[in-house]
Amino acid sequence: MKARWAAAAATIAVTAAALAWGRRRYLLVTVVGHSMAPTYRDGQRLLVRRGRYTVGDVVMFRAPDSMRFSISWLVKRAAALPGDPVPPDIAARFGPGTVPPGRLVVRSDAPDGLDSRQLGFIDSRDVVGAVCWARATPSPA
């Protein structure tokens, strides 16, 4: 009987440790809005892995303080990282050159979506991580 209790306690401890590790490493978020369509749809669930990202990854970051949103976090595609050339449509508004250290350029997948054209350069300290999984959603009717 004691051995079964010890095994159950060990299983619970390992499960709790795994859940704690997973909560520190991953976030489950829900898409709000249509600026990442057709890649991600409103209401779709995404798993975000905290940490590193590269150009082309979809990242989650804190909305800039200068913008007043009803949501605190945004999900956009990383288009340029520090030292990369500023994309032409962003350069037309903010000036040519390279992306400054500690900043990145983000793009919406929808042509008229909110991105660095309106937000400017994003502080890399505000980036949580990159999307690593998306729950499939049915196509809109």
Mind listing the pLDDT tens digit for each residue in 53-88? 999 999 999 998 877 777 889 999 999 999 999 999
The H or E element containing residue 105 is strand 103-107
Structure tokens at 28: 């489950």
Cβ atoms 6, 99 nearer than 8 A: no
Closest CA to 75 of 35, 43, 23, 19: 35
Query: What domains can be seen in the chain, in order of their start residue?
Result: 26-134 (2.10.109.10)
Higher-confidence residue of 108 and 71: namely 108
| pLDDT tens, position by position, 1-57 | 677 776 655 566 555 444 455 556 899 999 999 999 999 999 999 999 999 999 999
Closest CA to 64 of 1, 16, 127, 138: 127
Query: Which of 20-24, 34-38, 92-96, 100-104 is least confident?
Result: 20-24
